[in-house]
Structures are given as C-alpha cells and as structure tokens.
Amino acid sequence: MSTNASNPSACVNYDKPAERIARITLNRPERANAQNYRLLYELNDAYNRAAADDEVRVIIVRAAGRHFSSGHDLSAVDDVSLDDVGISAWGGFTLPGMEGHWAREEEAYFGLCWRWRNLPKVTIAQVHGKVIAGGLMLMWPCDLVVASEDATFQDPVVAFGANGVEYFAHPWELGTRKAKEMLFTGRAITARVAQQLGMVNRVVSADALEDEVLELAAEISRQPMMGLKTAKESVNQMQDEQGFYNALRSAMSLQQLAHAHNYMVHKLPVDPDGMGIVKDLAKKPPMEQ
C-alpha cells in the first residue's frame, strides 16, 4: 500500500501503512528534520493528498532519523522560494525590512500551522528525540500526540529576544505556569512531564512507538468519518470560543514587534547573544517535573 515511501531526495515521504490510514514522514534526518520551506510545503502537499483521499480517516506524522524536528532551518540549504509555493493571500516575501519578514512568517509558519490544525481528518503526531522551537509547530496542530520515552520538548526562543515560536500555543498546551517556566528558562521538558500537563496523550518505549501509533490509528479509523469530523470540529470550536485563535494572533503580533526591536538594536531579527545561552542550555538536563 506504500506510495513514495522511500524517495531519498524528498523532504517528506508519504505512504499508507494500513487501511484508512495515511502516514507522512519528515525526511531530513541529516539536519535533524529542521524545516526549510521545501519541507514545510511538501508536508502541506502530503496533508492535502491525505485530506483529498476519501479512503483516509487518520493521518500520522512522524520523522526519520534521531529527532522529530530541531526547528527552523534558516540556512536556505536545498530550499525553494515562497513565491513559488505560497498558498495564502500574503505576498511581498522579498520586500525589505519587517514587511517582508512579517509576510514570510505569516505564510510559512503561522498560516500553515493554522491550516493543519483545522484539517477535517484526525491527525496523530508520532514523536521521538528532540522537538525544539519550530518543531513544536509541526506537532501542536495535530489532534493527538504519542511520544517515545526519549522525547524532549523545548522552546528557547526567548534567548533570542522574542516571545516564542510563531504558533504560540504554549499556554494552551502546557498551562500558564509551566508555559512561563519553559519560556523564561528555555529548558526542555521530558515526555512524561508533557504527558502530565496534557500536551502528550501517551508515552511508550522507543521500540513500541510505531506499533502503538498504528494501533491507535487503526482503532480510530474504524469510526465513521462523519462522526470523527464533527467531534473534531466540536472540540476545536470550543477551544476557539475560549479565545484560542485571538490569543495566537496577539502573540504573533508581539513576535513581529520583537523582531523589529532586534533589527533596530542588533541589525538582525534576533539577539545574537542567544546562541551562547542556547549552547549553555544544551548542557542542562530536561526538567522532570
């Protein structure tokens, strides 16, 4: 049932491991699945493919290599132009200053995440290894998260002079107190802590991760699609009524303010001293409570 399951040149691979289940695999292991535009839009194309397949009810997102995702890849290695792949009403991606910067982040980061969050099919993130900053934005839009015991979750963006990743779901995923601690310190949390906080549904051994996710996906896929769609939409609408979307928009605006400040002070979108802080953080173990 596999399709494009092992294309070595693709940033994302797609297969159907079982009836009614599609599986998307992030495929930049040599860069710890850091996200350039090519990966993000191949991921979006794979989501579109699964959403358009009436036989698919559940979509799994996983990653090749040691880590789920190390965040944004700003190196432009093997990348594409947003003018060639952009799907929203935004444009002006190459304009100077904050106008172009804002346009790029609205299109490739916030816009895609919000689109994936509202897909009409059930999505499951299969997570292992490190999930850093922008990596959270590939996981949080999913409906369910199953993690291996070795998984850790971190957003050290405050060290670079900004509030956090562009899809600022931290208070909703972690609760306000832990969200503040995670952001203020930049420290990672373990999979068990993430489960206790409600960000992760299940934690299993690395050896059991794939089987656990496939069994969960198979169980869900036996439900009628209309029931799954309406249940997902009902939960999403409840979250939206609580102010989820407006809170995300507000945080996104504050991030653009932070970038503008950094451009004025450092001539860069981020504080360059942040790299030293992040290197020090890498020496610290993840928080276990």
Q: Is 71 helix (H, G, I), strand (E, B) or coil?
A: coil
CA atoms of 184 and 70, how far apart (whole Å): 19
Q: Give residue 8's pLDDT.
A: 66
CA atoms of 152 and 187, how far apart (whole Å): 10
Q: Give residue 9's pLDDT.
A: 78
CA atoms of 231 and 181, how far apart (whole Å): 32
DSSP 8-class letter at 162: S
Output the CA angle 88-90-91, nearest 5 degrees.
Answer: 125
Q: Give residue 1's pLDDT.
A: 39
Q: Give residue 5's pLDDT.
A: 56
**Could you tell me which residues come within 8 angstroms of residue 109 by beta carbon, excluding any fewer than 6 positions away?**
72, 134, 137, 165, 166, 167
Topology adopted by domain 12-281: 2-enoyl-CoA Hydratase; Chain A, domain 1 (3.90.226)
Q: Give residue 77's pLDDT.
A: 84
Per-residue confidence of the chain (289 residues) as pLDDT tens digits? 344 555 767 999 999 999 999 999 999 999 999 999 999 999 999 999 999 999 999 999 999 999 999 999 988 888 999 989 988 878 899 999 999 999 999 999 999 999 999 999 999 999 999 999 999 999 999 999 999 999 999 999 999 999 999 999 999 999 999 999 999 999 999 999 999 999 999 999 999 999 999 999 999 999 999 999 999 999 999 999 999 999 999 999 999 999 999 999 999 999 999 999 999 999 999 999 9
Query: Pairing mode, if any, of strands 58-63 and 130-132?
Result: unpaired
